[in-house]
Structure 1
Amino acid sequence: MDEFKLNTQLYFGSRAVDCLGKIDGSNVLVVTDGFLEKSGMVAKMVQHLPMGATYQTYSNVKPDPSQELVDEGIEMILGLHPDVVIAFGGGSCIDSTKAILYFARERGLERPYFLAVPTTAGTGSEVTNFAVITRGSDKVVLIDDFLAPDGALLEAEFTRSVPTKITADTGLDVLTHGLESYVSNSSTPFTEALSVKALRLVFENLPVTFRDGMSMRARTRMIEASCIAGIAFTNAGLGINHSLAHAFGGRFHVAHGRINAVLLPYVMRFHMGEDAYREPYERLAHELGLRDADELLQRIIGIRGELGVEERLADLGIDASSFEVELSGMAEAALHDRCTPTNPRPVSKQDLVNLYRDAYNG
């Protein structure tokens, strides 16, 4: 039996920000990062809260949020007992908030209303039941319906200040979500429709946003694409592209979306090497108006190049000796990653070692 879930209420379109004024709560905790707080973006957001509401911030979030960061947030939230928690930021802020609430529940915290306000168009975390945190050198994927926010505010204005490189990295993460959710062995007609829509939006709008960060129409379409792809992969799962990226990122601390983009052509070629696993790529290509899977692959390589993304893992500044030291551990971690079971093709540890080496050497 298949299922399709959307546990999060979406607020989007004209004056979507007005939803903040209708929040039923007065004691608000905003989980964010230092840049967003110092830049005045947090202040810009909270001015829309209901009259009389008070807020405090936990602004220690960093990229690749660690278990230690989450533990610090747990102590804060247990001391405050807020009735509303707002995750304001990119995927790291939203995932940190999810993990804080998840583990604070084990210590008796009654769940507050949880609103996610993404400031990047990338992870789709505002609608997913996924969260990724770092423990030591490993990225740990949490999957639980409890993690899904109660509400998500999609306001492109909050993404206006995102630097060009981050726009590329997060947008290519959306592309990877759309593609992997489509070819997943747990995809359904419902998730496939969402995956296709997300990819169309990415192909049309990511290059525009990259070239002109002030194109708010393109930014709006990208934040919608990110959310749509998030709904798709929450229901269909992902695959080894994300598994490999999680393990690599946990050790070398490169932006997640960039790793995904470097890996994607190598993973696609691996799947397309056998007819049975090439078939969903052929269907996807036709859905996107392309001739075949090979044209889809070239389209992805083309957009990756247009956005200035490296062609090999070696080009990310990882020296060969460090890579070889970590290779076996990364492959083992990727093999057991929570994204691997929904990969379209069964894989062995050696398959993953070979993929890493291919992607490193080019």
Structure 2
Amino acid sequence: MKNFYIKPKIEFGENSLNFLKNNVNGKVFIVTDKSMVTLKLVDKITELLPKNSLVKIFDEVTPNPTTDVVEKGLKELVLFNPDVVIALGGGSPIDACKGMLYFGRKLKITLNNKLFIAIPTTSGTGSEVTSYSVITEGNKKIALANEEMLPDIAILNPEFMKTLPKKIIADTGMDVFTHALEAYVSKVANPFTDAMALESLKLLNKNLVKHYNNAQDLEPRKNVQFASCLAGVAFNNSSLGINHSIAHTIGAKFHLSHGRANAILLPYIIKINENANERYEVLAKELNLEGKESFVKYIENLKVTLGIEKSLSELNIDFQEFQNLIPEMLSEIKADICTEFNPNILTDEEYIKLLLKIYFGNL
């Protein structure tokens, strides 16, 4: 039996934060990072909470949140025992918060009946509407999947994206592109996920570069945020593929942002996924392109516009180190939960050739 799961409830628009005024009561635990505090974005949340709210802020989330951060946050969460949990930030704070709730329930710590609200401040991960969380342990990324990690409420407010640096807009925007694309060509894609993935790609096609060039412009900013959310719902129901599996291991090994790793990989993965050629042709047509090759060229040109490297060698990653890590990376890629749903099943030899192409830029 197949299913399409829709959760959470989504509040969106310029006044969406007002949801907090009348729907949050009691003790509130906010999971975020120090930049959100420094930029006073946390204040935009706390000032809307009822006057009698008791608030505790856990701001120790780091990029690529680690198991240590999750463990520390979980301890504070349990001791505080809040009525409401709010995750505020990019994918890292939301994923970390999900990890706290996931491991709390796994350890049978009483964490039920807490309202879980996710408020993204970037347009990229779609984590506010997915049951996935990626946590780093050492030099490995662990992808978790459990419906209990889905937030109850997602609040999409475009105000948070007005001051994003261009590099973050580029990285998170290409993360959205990868989510939508992999959801569309997944082995278990369906008409529901197709509709959302395709609309996400159309919105990105019209708005991502505009948003990159001028983050103050409201319409592109809102539309990229919608694209991110739509892609999140899509891949939450159809999963992803080896673009993400490889990005997880490369990102962890060489400390790359997840979105940039995804973007570098995209053309190479499309080339090797021959079983999805018909689906790529459909996407090309929807974007007024002539076929799969023109679709690959379109992505390459988009990456140039967004200042994203073509290969790993352009990031000055040492080749000897990269080569030595290939057996370990290969093992992690094959074990990643996203690999199962990729259109093509690759042999070890094909993976090694692919990794070398990605390093040297031999598309």
TM-score interval, smaller chain: over 0.9
After TM superposition, list the pairs within 5 Å mapping 1:3-22 onto structure 2: 3-22=3-22
Paired residue type of 2:282:
R
Question: Are the equivalent residues in 2 in contact too, given 1:335–1:349 (CA < 8 A)?
Answer: no
Q: Tell me the alpha carbon deviations over residues 268-293 of structure 1, each in whole angstroms, 9 at most, x when there is no partner.
A: 11113xxx431111122223332211
Q: Which position in structure 2 is the counterpart of 1:262? A: 264
Q: Which position in structure 2 is the counterpart of 1:144? A: 146
* Structure 2 unaligned blocks of 5 or more: none
After TM superposition, list the pairs within 5 Å mapping 1:177-256 onto structure 2: 177-256=179-258
Comparing 284-293 with 140-149, greater Cα deviation is found at 284-293
Question: Are the equivalent residues in 1 in contact too, given 2:205–2:287 (CA < 8 A)?
Answer: no
Is the alpha carbon distance of 1:53 and 1:351 closer, same or farther for their aligned partners in structure 2, counting shifts above 3 Å? Answer: same
Partner SS, residue 131 of structure 1: strand
Provide the C-alpha distance between the structure 2 equivalents of 1:113 and 1:70, rounded to a whole number of angstroms: 19
Q: Which position in structure 1 is the counterpart of 2:300? A: 301
Provide the C-alpha distance between the structure 2 equivalents of 1:22 and 1:6, rounded to a whole number of angstroms: 24
Comparing 46-55 with 78-87, greater Cα deviation is found at 46-55
Question: Are the equivalent residues in 1 in contact too, given 2:24–2:49 (CA < 8 A)?
Answer: no
Displacement of 1:247 in angstroms is: 0.6
Partner SS, residue 48 of structure 1: coil
* Structure 1 unaligned blocks of 5 or more: none
RMSD: 1.1
Displacement of 1:306 in angstroms is: 0.3
What is the number of residues matched between the two proteins? 359
Provide the C-alpha distance between the structure 2 equivalents of 1:43 and 1:107, rounded to a whole number of angstroms: 33
Displacement of 1:14 in angstroms is: 4.3
Q: Tell me the alpha carbon deviations over residues 263-322 of structure 1, each in whole angstroms, 9 at most, x when there is no partner.
A: 1001111113xxx43111112222333221122111111111100100101112211111
Q: Which position in structure 2 is the counterpart of 1:47? A: 47
Paired residue type of 2:346:
V
Provide the C-alpha distance between the structure 1 equivalents of 2:162 and 2:183, rounded to a whole number of angstroms: 28
Q: Percent identity?
A: 38
Taking structure 2 as the reference length, the TM-score comes to 0.97
Q: Which position in structure 1 is the counterpart of 2:90? A: 90
Taking structure 1 as the reference length, the TM-score comes to 0.97
Question: Are the equivalent residues in 1 in contact too, given 2:131–2:236 (CA < 8 A)?
Answer: yes
Comparing 14-23 with 53-62, greater Cα deviation is found at 14-23
Partner SS, residue 144 of structure 2: strand
Q: Which position in structure 2 is the counterpart of 1:288? A: 287
Partner SS, residue 117 of structure 2: strand
Provide the C-alpha distance between the structure 1 equivalents of 2:110 and 2:210, rounded to a whole number of angstroms: 44
Question: Are the equivalent residues in 1 in contact too, given 2:101–2:111 (CA < 8 A)?
Answer: no
Displacement of 1:250 in angstroms is: 1.2
Q: Tell me the alpha carbon deviations over residues 186-210 of structure 1, each in whole angstroms, 9 at most, x when there is no partner.
A: 0001101101100111111110111
Provide the C-alpha distance between the structure 2 equivalents of 1:260 and 1:110, rounded to a whole number of angstroms: 34
Partner SS, residue 86 of structure 1: strand
After TM superposition, list the pairs within 5 Å mapping 1:8-87 onto structure 2: 8-87=8-87
Paired residue type of 1:332:
S
Q: Tell me the alpha carbon deviations over residues 315-343 of structure 1, each in whole angstroms, 9 at most, x when there is no partner.
A: 12211111111111111101110000110
Provide the C-alpha distance between the structure 2 equivalents of 1:193 and 1:266, rounded to a whole number of angstroms: 25
